[in-house]
Structure 1
Amino acid sequence: MHFSMYNLFIILLFSSLLQCGMSHTHYKFIVKEATYERLCETKNILTVNGKFPGPTLKVHKGETIFVTVYNRGNDNITLHWHGVHQPRNPWSDGPEYITQCPIKPGDKFRYKVIFSEEEGTLWWHAHSDWSRATVHGAIFIYPRPGAPYPFPLPDYEFPILLGEWWKEDIRKVLQEFVASGGLPRDSDAYTINGQPGDLYPCSENGTYTLKVKQGKKYLLRLINADMNEVLFFGVANHNLTVVGTDGSYTKPLKRKYITISPGQTFDCLLEANQDPGQYYMAASAYINTTIITFDNSTTTAIVEYKGSYDKSIPPVMPYLPNFNDTTAAFDFCGTLRSLASEEHPIDVPLDVDHKMVSTLSVNTLPCDTNQTCSGPNGTRLLASMTNNSFVLPPIDILKAYYYQLEGVYGENFPDFPPLEFNYTADFQPFYLQTPNRATEVKMIKYNEKVEIILQGTSLVAPLDHPMHLHGFSFYVVGYGFGNYDEIRDPPRYNLVDPPLQNTVLVPRNSWAAIRFKANNPGVWFMHCHFERHVTWGMETVFIVRNGERPGERMFPPPNYMPPCC
């Protein structure tokens, strides 16, 4: 279906359950079709209250909100609360055919979104097909009432959402991509708060402008809602001081630019300490490969100081690294550290009960008879984790697990690659390219301390992979280029103050090590946050079993889950 066939109506009802006894707060958000003009083209897209991106949700740490979604359109939809742990409550996590069947046209579903330890910036987005291209928005999570920030209180705060724009309807882009068996069409522009910026044709009048006062401090709540690219981001003549990522505080890190992958968020302090004038904030792609095409344009917005200045002087551009500068990208990623203070302690698992090594690969599959495919040598492109390309089931896995329905999924997702090889070699045997295709999950005991080595491979195309885990934040205890070495690399882990994140960027032909305690029973999705890789099957599911005590068990389902048929 095209966006023009949507007419989705959504009501968000927020019920505050703060310890201080705050009264219930109710919001009404309407998502519906709206007409937008970008890049000299006009089209209909799905919007929230007529806006793209959607509205910002503001809560306090520990709140619970209720979200009732009415789907009055012609296509299915679900919503996901990215980075919200949802303790014991996978029923409202949102990925279609993982924790729920989608909300069908004419139906409704009420999400119960439980915030717990998260603090800072997260976001919400559609988790069905590619609808999140326009259905997304920011979540601001403030400290509990009366609790201070662990950094100087900003004078103002703003959401900065980075996205992508296609002149074509995103549904048509997806359909054409799946049918081809090859790569998706490149986007026509990147956006900052829905606007591509004045470097694109017909966009000067719509460029997003952030007005600032000299001497004031601004908290930029930065979100990469982009579909398929990692981005560099910076503000001309200004430093960005990172103080948080993925709903967790960090030690202050001052940089001229940051690297942010799809799914990630950063809290950045910006001091308005320059002479009055106009300065560009800008974002451009990081992608270290020549194998695939990508949008190599730059999106801009303007930081404009209040006061008098010569308006004939054009805005200054910030420094952004070259699109293939891996050193620049991971010099930033590797310097993030958790705050790890007395008020904001961390709990890094120092030993491991369950270790996994999961390879992240692009794969191929022979094309169907009488069909032409656009992958290498006429094949169809796929992707995998540990050689398993995930197949979505016809009913959701959570329902099948809870009601013990047989035949929906298998429990044979491997802990280690079924075949060992030089994962990052320049040339790979052809027989390694075809993965297993199945709906396989990994069963985890409650409270197990889990380590996962996410190992990128050079099969078909060595690429970066932003890997996101639902239901948990994890500690990124190690990075490395090349193949992971179980003797050499663990002694170099950071077990003192590693960053606590829900999305980690695994470099091409490299690895990342994450650790977490499996103390959240339920069904939780793990996947690459490049939408093309999700479509190809780079995902799996972790089922964390119930513990023995009542507070260690998954909540029962609400009686109004969307039906699967």
Structure 2
Amino acid sequence: MTHVTITSTLVLFISIFTIAAVLVDSESPHLFFDWTVTYSRRAPLGVDKQACIFILINFIASINSVIVINDQFPGPVLNATTNDVVDINIHNNLTDPFLITWNGVQLRRNSWQDGVQETNCPILPGQNWTYSFQIKDQIGSFFYFPSLLLHKAAGGYGAIRVHNRDNVPVPFAQPYQEFDILIGDWYNVDHRDMRVSLDEGNSLPMPDGVLINGVGPNQAIFDFESGAIYRLRISNVGLKTSLNFRIEDHLMLLVETEGSYTIQQHYSSLDIHVGQSYSVLVTAKDQTNGLSYYMVASSRFTAFELFGIGVVRYPDSEVDPFGPFPAGPPRYDYKFSLDQARSIRWNLSTGAARPNPQGSYHYGSINISHTLVLENSFMYEGSRLRYTINGVSFVHPDTPLKLADYFQLDDEFMSVIFPDSPVDSLPTLGTSVIDANYHDFVHIVFVNPLQHVQTWHIDGYNFFIVGMGWGSWDESKMATYNMVDAVSRSTVQVYPSSWTAILTKLDNQGMWNLRSQNAENWYLGQELYIRVKGVGQEDPSTIPARDEAPIPVNIIKCGRATSL
């Protein structure tokens, strides 16, 4: 059964903080990090983010607008191994409440640490809080980013690497070196002004450019040794723009995406949509000709092309690259992009987090418990633009859903049924929660009738991308599904006037966010939550610890849960 609450107010959470540790698996290795989040004046595209002036009781404070972590932009790389317990103490030195979410990392039955608005009360300015979570059986390339108040537009993101345990072989030779490459669109305007514009009913315009590792053209330098093999972990950390990634005169061997090893195929370029991550192997040239090469991340499906430019250098490189950039696919060639997406398949013969081959999990033979058809669209609340899923635009209640559920304050969001498929009624505001049982095997179809690419993400899970196609979806399309070697990942694109189908097993209890990865759509209501619970466990406070992590002893409480 699915539920939605109809409400019209968005309330910023107010919280009180105490430091303590979460109960986690004491036998697994613990990793400890201390991160300080601040503003810094930076000019990634040669233009300072506009300083924002606040007037508080005749006091004027000027605040620089790029978010850095430990004075780094992008932030520190989070290195971990399968089943590690990660403890990250976040010091919030911003002027806003702050949270970080772990895009694609499957926190083991612990949505208390997910870091989105309906699972966590925010860390208030001047306060700190320790995230503590165990990484599920998982390997791969991911990233973290701030989840509140459009902070992602100001930075605050960084790469995540989850390595194999020593007893699980990797299906390729150890590379000479690894590089994390974070690509994304960028706006010179301050993120607070962007937020005001969205609140006034405007859509975001074209971005001002594309960054590679937080810097503008020709500033991201990657040094190659002749003949060596490099692993590049590439993530699109932008707000709304699909990007095509390529390296001049170098092929990329795709080996992994978001925790799945793939059939190894060479690509001259890769379309990477917002929120997606890939690992490729690149073999350096055996050269002594003094040349260096362009690394390009160019915008896809935009009115005009934007370019992020990096440089690959060799020991004998004497000059920067010259001449035209390497050509990518035609800017509006959706067929190229869809055909490439369909070509990415699961490597059935290798293990990932475990030694047993990925193909030993026969997802195609599991009975489907439930089907959801989710259509993205938009509505207007007066003159204000909002985005919807099945006609409902998400509105945040006064207490995070995870806390409201735990303390049985769920009278509001249990009151109205959320539609499992598109409806013809007028769109509305509401708090969308889908109820599901632990171990359900769910079929979700994302339908996109609009004329821009949409991307979707589910926290806490990977899913099998079993089908993509043009036009409308109906049950006859299930006969075309790939039920053998569809790739498993956590973020998927849906092309204009098309559909994408996924299958996932709900084996991670908790309250998990399903959202548009387009920051504008997410900010303006395109999300819902999936509440995964054991059969007969109607009271979340009685769920055994083996099924879901207990409430953290350092939990920040806010809203109606403040005094509980």
| TM-score bin, normalised by smaller chain | 0.7 to 0.9
- 1:323 paired residue among 322, 326, 331: 331
> What secondary structure is seen at the aligned counterpart in 2 of 1:38?
coil
Which secondary structure does the structure 1 equivalent of 2:558 belong to?
Answer: coil
Aligned partner of 1:188 in structure 2 is 208
Using the alignment, how far apart are the partners of 1:243 and 1:283 within structure 2? 19
Provide closer, same or farther for how the CA distance between residues 132 and 555 of structure 1 changes in structure 2, counting only shifts above 3 A: same
Equivalent residue, structure 2, for 1:418: 423
Please tell me whether the aligned partners of residues 13 and 27 of structure 1 are also in contact (alpha carbons under 8 angstroms).
no
The answer for the alignment partner of 1:279 in structure 2 is 293
Q: Distance in 2 between matches of 1:12 and 1:230?
A: 40
* 1:303 lines up with 2:312 in the alignment: yes
Aligned residue type for 2:135: F
Residue 125 of structure 2: which of 105, 109, 121 is its match?
A: 105
Cα drift, residue 65 of structure 1: 0.4
Alignment-mate amino acid for residue 379 of structure 2: T
**Which amino acid in structure 2 is aligned with residue 108 of structure 1?**
N
Q: CA deviation at 1:469?
A: 0.3
Query: Which residue does 1:480 correspond to in 2?
Result: 469
CA distance in 2, matches of 1:110, 1:25: 12
TM-score (norm 1): 0.85
Pairing of 1:125-204 with structure 2 (within 5 A):
125-133=145-153, 134-179=155-200, 181-198=201-218
Matches within 5 A, 1:140-539: 140-179=161-200, 181-198=201-218, 207-273=219-285, 275=287, 276=289, 277-287=291-301, 296-307=305-316, 309=317, 311=319, 314=322, 317-341=325-349, 343=351, 344-346=357-359, 347=361, 348-350=363-365, 351-361=367-377, 363-365=378-380, 367=382, 379-410=383-414, 412-419=417-424, 434-458=426-450, 462-487=451-476, 489-539=477-527
Q: Which one of 42, 54, 59 corresponds to residue 36 of structure 1?
A: 42
Distance 1:464 1:197 in 2: 26
d(CA) in 2 for partners of 1:448, 1:327: 34
Structure 2 counterparts to residues 31-110 of structure 1, below 5 A: 31-43=37-49, 44=64, 45-96=66-117, 98-110=118-130
User: Per the alignment, do residues 262 and 14 of structure 1 end up closer, same or farther by CA in structure 2, a change over 3 Å counting?
Assistant: farther
Kindly report the root-mean-square deviation, in angstroms, between the aligned alpha carbons of the 2 structures: 2.4
The answer to whether the Cα contact below 8 Å between 2:34 and 2:88 also exists between their aligned partners in 1 is no
CA distance in 1, matches of 2:508, 2:210: 36
- Equivalent residues, number: 508
Letter aligned with residue 355 of structure 1: T
Rounded to whole Å, the distance in 1 between the matches of 2:204 and 2:319 is 41
Contact 1:519 1:552 in 2 (8 A): no
Following superposition, the deviation at residue 317 of structure 1 comes to 2.1
Separation in 1, partners of 2:421, 2:397: 24
Matches of 1:160 and 1:150, distance apart in 2? 21
Asked if structure 2 preserves the Cα contact closer than 8 Å seen for 1:455 and 1:484, the reply is yes
Counterpart secondary structure, 1:284: strand
Q: Distance in 1 between matches of 2:488 and 2:115?
A: 22
Deviation at 1:221, TM superposition (A): 0.4
Contact 2:372–2:420 at 8 Å: present in 1 too?
Answer: yes
2:547 is the counterpart of 1:553 = yes
Report if aligned partners of 2:180, 2:232 keep a CA contact under 8 Å in 1: yes
Change (3 A) 1:41 1:13: farther
CA–CA separation in structure 1 for the residues paired with 2:349 and 2:195: 45
Query: 2:22–2:132: 8 Å Cα contact kept in structure 1?
Result: no
Name the SS of the counterpart of 2:475 in structure 1.
coil
- CA–CA distance in 2 between the matches of 1:219 and 1:16? 32
Taking a change above 3 Å as real, the CA distance of residues 57 and 491 of structure 1, as seen in their structure-2 partners, is same
Provide the rounded CA distance (Å) in 2 between the counterparts of 1:190 and 1:225: 10
CA offset at residue 472 of structure 1?
0.6
Contact 2:387–2:521 under 8 Å retained in 1? yes
Unaligned runs of 5+ in 1: 1-10, 199-206, 289-293, 368-378, 420-431
Q: What fraction of aligned residue pairs are identical, expressed as a percent?
A: 27
In the aligned structure 2, how far is the partner of 1:42 from the partner of 1:313? 27
How has the CA–CA distance of structure 1 residues 312 and 254 changed in structure 2, closer, same or farther, with 3 Å as cutoff?
closer
Following the alignment from structure 2 to structure 1, what is the Cα–Cα distance between the partners of residues 251 and 87? 38
Inter-CA distance 494–33: structure 2 relative to 1 (3 Å threshold): same
Which range moves more in the overlay, 279-288 or 540-549?
A: 540-549
| Amino acid of the structure 1 residue aligned with 2:37 | V
Asked whether the 8 Å contact 2:35–2:88 carries over to 1, the reply is no
Per-residue Cα deviation, 1:356-404 (whole angstroms, up to 9, x for no partner): 111111x23252xxxxxxxxxxx43221111111111121001111111
Structure 1 residue identity aligned to 2:293: Y
Q: Secondary structure at the match of 1:121?
A: strand
Structure 1 equivalent of residue 14 of structure 2: none
CA contact (8 A) 1:16 1:25 kept: no
Alignment equivalent of 1:562, drawn from 553, 556, 559: 556
Cα distance, 1:121–1:315 mapped onto 2, change above 3 Å: farther
Q: Distance in 1 between matches of 2:458 and 2:444?
A: 11
**In 2: Cα distance, 1:465 partner to 1:233 partner:** 19
- 1:147 Cα shift? 3.0
Counterpart of 2:375 in 1: which secondary structure?
strand
Give the corresponding residue for 2:137: 117
Counterpart amino acid of residue 341 in structure 1? S
Q: Is the 8 A contact 1:17 1:64 kept in 2?
A: yes
The DSSP-based 3-state class of the residue aligned with 1:328 is helix
1:17 shift after superposition: 6.9
Q: Give the secondary structure class of the aligned counterpart of 1:542.
A: strand
Distance in 1 of aligned mates of 2:400 and 2:128: 17
CA distance in 2, matches of 1:13, 1:299: 41
Residue of structure 1 in register with 2:52 after alignment = none
Decide whether the 8 Å contact of 2:31 with 2:85 is kept in 1: no
CA contact (8 A) 2:104 2:142 kept: yes
Give the match's secondary structure for 2:33: coil
Which one-letter code corresponds to 2:337 in the other structure?
A
Partner of 1:3: none
After TM superposition, the structure 1 stretch with the greater mean CA deviation from structure 2, 318-327 or 523-532, is: 318-327
- Distance in 2, matches of 1:132 and 1:257, equals 26
Displacement of 1:164: 2.8
Of 222-231 and 117-126, more deviation after overlay is shown by 117-126
* Unmatched tracts of structure 2, length 5 or more: 1-18, 50-63, 352-356, 537-542, 560-564
1:269-302 Cα offsets, whole Å, 9 max, x none, are 11112634111111111127xxxxx673111000
